[in-house]
Amino acid sequence: MVQGRLKMFKDFPRDEWFEAADGCDTCGARYRVKVNHVEEEGDYGEVLVRDAHKPECPLRSEAAPWGPDSYGVDERLEFAGWEYEDRKVSLGGIEWTPINARGDVTICLNCGRLIIDVPLILFIDEGKKGELDFCSGCALELGLIPIARGG
């Protein structure tokens, strides 16, 4: 099996909010992302990230600056983007194209959504030959993270 089409940073919609791969670990609300700027080459740029929380979330801020439905939204700018290696690596029966370099916000190689927080990073040859980045949901789905079970 081969990884799907390689998605570049410039492929994401501009000036339009969309859901990220990750979000609040406490309430499960996903970050919202909007591409703010794309550099000329299309590999890197800036994204505006909206932290949103559900009404019952203890991390929700008291002030809701975007209206009563925003549930305490905070926004910030982040450096985003990535470059791919020119080769493939096999993992779990799938041929993946490693990431050579990346910004603070990267892509999940499995689902193709942006990862705002920390991705699961599998370094190849201690990072000298790139890395495979996955969101936590895909890492669980692919069996890269064992599921902890209470005894």
Residue 5's contacts (CB-CB under 8 Å, 6 or more residues apart) are: none
Total domains, the chain: 1
Please indicate, yes or no, if residue 118 is contained in any of the structural domains: yes
Please indicate, yes or no, if residue 149 is contained in any of the structural domains: no
Q: What pLDDT is recorded for position 22?
A: 93
Instruction: Kindly report the pTM of this predicted structure.
Output: 0.84
| Residue 26 per-residue DSSP state | T
Please indicate, yes or no, if residue 150 is contained in any of the structural domains: no
CA atoms within 13 A on the CB side of 28: 2
Q: Tens digit of pLDDT for each residue in 98-142?
A: 999 999 999 999 999 999 998 999 999 888 899 999 999 999 999
As a whole number of angstroms, the distance between CA 9 and CA 44 comes to 6
Q: Tens digit of pLDDT for each residue in 9-49?
A: 999 999 899 999 998 888 888 999 999 999 999 999 999 99
Q: What pLDDT is recorded for position 14?
A: 92
Please indicate, yes or no, if residue 137 is contained in any of the structural domains: yes
